[in-house]
Amino acid sequence: MLGLGILRGLIETWRNFQGSYYDPARLTTVQYPEEKLTPRENARTIPFLVYDGDDPIAGLRCTACSICAVECPAHCIEIVKDPVKKPDYLGKMQFHPRVFDIDMAVCMECGVCAEVCPFDSIKMDRVFELSSGDRRMVLQKSDLAKSNDYFRHIHPVEAAAVDASRAGEQRKMQAKKDASPVPVAS
Amino acid sequence: MPPHLKAAGSDVAQASPPAGSGSVPLPSVLYAPGAGDFAGHDLLEIAMGPHHPSTHGVFRMNVVLDGETVVKLTPVFGYLHRNHEKIAEKNSYLASIPYTDRLDYICSMTNNWAYVLSVEKLAGLAVPERAEYLRVIVGELTRLQNHACLVGFLLQDMGALGTPMMYAFREREKILDLFESLSGSRMMCNYMRFGGCRCDLPAGWLEQAVKVVAEFDSFLDHFEALLNENEILRARSQGVGVLPRDLAVNAGVTGPCLRASGVNYDLRKVDQYGIYNRFKFRVPLGQHGDVFDRYMMRILEMRESIGILGQARHDIPAGPFVDPKFKLRNLRPKPGEAYGRVESPKGELGFYLISDGGPAPYRYRVRPPSLINLTVLEDMCLGHTIADVVIILGSIDIVLGEVDR
């Protein structure tokens, strides 16, 4: 009979319409500014720089090796090396960045920089409310630096793995030091 | 193709040659040869798009109309050209993976897959078993969400404003949530790597995926009850936009559009890339090659994908998710060339790479299914009304990011 298919479809529509009042599977809308979904462990938006300790600039893990800047698909990272070396968490002398800029207008949030970083220094953030009143799209070192506690808070699984591997390296370094003590200059 | 369509379309001649090369002739100088079908009529040329909402992005068609009937259709590409291939020839192999996400931005997983497959061929990398299964799972999930979206878009083009698309998007959102918890991003997944995948499944992901797929199966039951027998859908789509089998083969059309015309050609069966030879699934084939057949192809393929996902979930082994010898950076394949292709939801997606031993491909070429399926648009549209053009375009399933690159 002509029209039966439409009627059958309307039954589906009616079922969905009814369900939109009580069925949790139909109530999918989140009233955004008031309610927010809990972000996922792996969620990634823009990159940030991890620092240890209290000083955001002195504690940066970044050694200005520029691997992220080279590998970045959009080439949005600019690094200028500070010629003065400082000891890192293992006591090795490392360079630090004097300038570390990321152009957020160009960044496409792919996560390649975080993936290639050998020092676990650059990681992906999960902030998404990025609009601002001015036109400042280039984030500088001071804007990018975020503490390791923050990293632990947003990506607990990944941060735990990173902390464990760093602690292991530190232990190894300590063991090496203990095994062959550097002769103290008299 | 019916004879009257041929007479109207491909033999349209011009009274005088167009002034400049590539310029579209004015409608006033167009006439049909022979019997003078349009003698005495004024033809009207309309530029549909690039801002027209029914053109699925920034696609433009110059349509010449006799009344409401299409007598000539010229597709105009290139509004979304972003130099994809040239950028990839400058960047390293790794840095091109995020760019492939942006080709067909609905199916980033299969884009990744096609690209890593060709790089693996080029560099001779092996893929661990678990990674192959992961790829099949995310690839088939991509097919589910792409086809569900396409059916929603197609119905919207037919005038069913909102309802089917809303239902399809509701289901798609669950799959995108899975992608987000797996790869970090809903659409720009950037998940596959040469020799495997970027990360392993998070805890509880597979259980969640099983639940989503089971829900998808029951959603499809309701979706089919909503649409399949709808008289308006059938009246609008049956016998409209027929793509003859020979033309489809000769034009290089692939994917569901080709199979709707009755050609049994599915790269998952033909190439058996990855581990597709281990799965039991059928390839649905159409008989008429019209819009309705293309619609049904999508529904039936989603059913088959659900079957594949069930088998993959059952068989997935433990083990490494990426080749242990895999180097993330400084990939320099030996000089040579490779063509890797996968059955993306839209058709054959291939990447042709030439390496000269350097850190970036010497030549990088994408074979996008959307662009090549679009080339038969005029043949399908001639003789139909302008409202049918919208449906026919919708049934091809294009994404302009892939057409223009």
Which domain, by its residues, includes B233?
84-367
How confident is residue A182, by pLDDT bands cut at 50, 70 and 90?
Answer: low
- Tokens in use for B351? 């990447």
Q: Which of B53, B76, B99 is the last residue of a domain?
A: B76
Q: How far apart are CA B190 and CA B96, in angstroms?
A: 10
pLDDT in the model for residue B25: 46
Same domain, B138 and B231: yes
Q: What is the mean pLDDT of residues A6-32?
A: 85
Tell whether B42 and B108 lie within a shared domain: no
| pLDDT, average across residues B167-195 | 89
Task: State whether residue A162 sits within 8 Å of chain B by CB.
Answer: no
Helices within B159-290 (DSSP H only) = 163-183, 205-227, 231-237, 245-250, 256-260, 267-270
- Residue A28: which of B99, B170, B182 has the nearest Cβ? B170
Has residue B405 been placed in a domain? no
Contacts of A127 in chain B (CB under 8 A): none
User: What is the structure's pLDDT at B60?
Assistant: 87
The answer on pLDDT for B151 being more than 70 is yes
Looking at the structure, do residues B21 and B124 belong to the same domain, yes or no?
Answer: no
Residue type, A48: F
B59 and B182 assigned to the same domain: no
Q: Which of A37, A89, A83 is nearest to A61 (CA)?
A: A89
Size of interface A-B (CB pairs under 8 A): 84
CA of B260, closest CA in chain A: separation in Å?
Answer: 23
Residue A71: which of B95, B26, B274 has the closest Cα?
Answer: B95
Which residues in chain A touch residue B225, judged by CB atoms under 8 angstroms apart? 8-9, 11-12
- Computed over every residue of chain B, the mean pLDDT equals 84
Lowest mean pLDDT among A181-185, B152-156, B199-203, B244-248: A181-185
- Ordered structural domains, chain A, with CATH: 47-126+134-175 (3.30.70.3270)
Task: Supply A47's token pair.
Answer: 């990159």
- Most B-contacting residue of A40, A126, A157 (CB-CB within 10 A), to test interface: A40
Ramachandran angles phi, psi of B137, nearest 5°: -65, -50
pLDDT digits (tens, 9 = 90+) for A95-129: 888 888 998 888 888 889 998 888 888 999 888 88
Per-residue pLDDT tens digits for B270-300? 888 888 888 989 999 988 888 999 999 999 9
- Among A155, A72, A47, A68, smallest CA distance to A119 is for A68
Residue B398 in domain: no
> Do B305 and B210 sit in the same domain of this protein?
yes
CA–CA gap between residue B49 and residue B23 (Å, rounded): 17
The structure tokens listed for A109 are 């949030």
Q: How close is the nearest chain B Cα to the Cα of A73, in Å? A: 5
Q: Which residues of B touch A43 (CB under 8 A)?
A: 180, 184-185
Mean pLDDT on B312-316: 88
What is residue B383's predicted lDDT score, i.e. its pLDDT? 86
Residue-level pLDDT at A181: 64
Cβ distance of B188 and A67 shorter than 8 Å: no
Domain presence at residue B148: yes
Residue by residue, DSSP assigns B289-344 as -SHHHHHHHHHHHHHHHHHHHHHHHHHPPPS-SB-TT--SS---PPSEEEEEEEEE
Question: Is the Cβ of A41 closer than 8 Å to some Cβ of chain B?
Answer: yes
Dihedrals φ, ψ of A153, to 5°?
-70, -45
B147: in domain: yes
Q: Is residue B388 part of a domain?
A: no
**Helix B205-227 to helix B129-158 angle, to the nearest 10 degrees?**
30
The domain total for chain B is 2
- Answer yes or no: do B318 and B184 share one domain: yes
Q: Determine the residue of chain B that is closest to A28 in CA distance.
A: B170
Tell me whether residues A25 and B228 touch, CB distance under 8 A.
no
Q: Lowest-confidence range among A145-159, B7-21, B326-340, B390-404? A: B7-21
Kindly state whether residues B98 and B159 are assigned to the same domain: yes
Residues B263 and B330 in one domain: yes
> Does residue B403 fall inside a structural domain?
no
CB spacing of B225 vs A15 below 8 angstroms: no
DSSP codes joined into one string, B338-400? EEEEEEETTEEEEEEEEE-SSSS-SEEEEE-HHHHHHTTHHHHHTTSBHHHHHHHHHHH---H
For the record, the structure tokens of B267 come out as 């790269």
- Please indicate, yes or no, whether residues B17 and B115 belong to a single structural domain of this protein: no
Q: Beta strand pairing status for A47-51 and A145-147? A: parallel
Query: Is the model's pLDDT at B33 over the cut of 50?
Result: no
The pair of three-digit structure tokens given for residue A104, joined into one six-digit string: 């957020």
The answer to whether residue B139 is domain-embedded is: yes
The nearest CA of chain A is from the CA of B264 a distance in Å of 30
- Residue A127 at interface with chain B, using a CB cutoff of 8 Å: no
Backbone angles phi, psi at A84, to 5 degrees: -85, 130
Find where tokens 């390649």 sit: A112
pLDDT above 60 (res B363): yes
What span, in angstroms and rounded, lies between the C-alpha atoms of B100 and B342? 14
- Please say whether the dihedral angle defined by the alpha carbons of residues B114, B116, B117 and B121, taken in this order, is positive or negative: positive
Query: At CB < 8 Å, which residues of chain B contact A?
Result: 91-92, 94-99, 101-102, 163, 167, 170, 173, 177, 180-185, 188, 190, 198-199, 202, 215, 222, 225-234, 328-329
Query: Among B292, B224, B229, B227, which residue's Cα sits nearest to residue B257?
Result: B292
A43 and chain B in contact, CB less than 8 A = yes
B309 is written with which tokens? 């996902």
- Measure CB to CB from residue B184 to each of A5, A6, A44 and give the nearest one: A44
How would residue B142 be classed by pLDDT, with cut points 50, 70 and 90? Answer: very high
Confidence band of B40 (pLDDT split at 50, 70, 90): low
Q: How far apart are CA A29 and CA A21, in angstroms?
A: 12
In a shared domain, residues B55 and B153: no
> B369 vs chain A: nearest CA distance in angstroms?
24
pLDDT at residue B11 above 60?
Answer: no
pLDDT at residue number B28: 44
DSSP A131-165: --SS---EE-HHHHEEEHHHHHHH-HHHHHHHHHH
Mean predicted confidence (pLDDT) in A52-56: 83
ipTM value of the model?
Answer: 0.84
Checking if the pLDDT of B14 tops 50, the result is: no
Rg, Å, chain B Cα set: 22
Whether B329 is covered by a domain: the verdict is yes
**pLDDT at position B118:** 92
Give contacts of A9 with chain B, Cβ < 8 Å.
225-227, 229-230
Chain A nearest-CA distance from B180, in A, is 6
Q: Could you tell me the CA-to-CA distances from B198 to A40, A51, A95, B103, B176 in Å, in that order?
A: 17, 25, 29, 20, 17
**Which pLDDT tens digit goes with each residue over B78-107?**
888 888 999 989 888 888 899 999 888 888
Tell me the two tokens of residue B203. 């805890």
pLDDT tens-digit map of A154-175: 888 888 888 888 888 888 888 8
- How far is the C-alpha of A37 from the C-alpha of B148, rounded, in Å? 24
Instruction: Assess whether pLDDT exceeds 60 at residue B237.
Output: yes
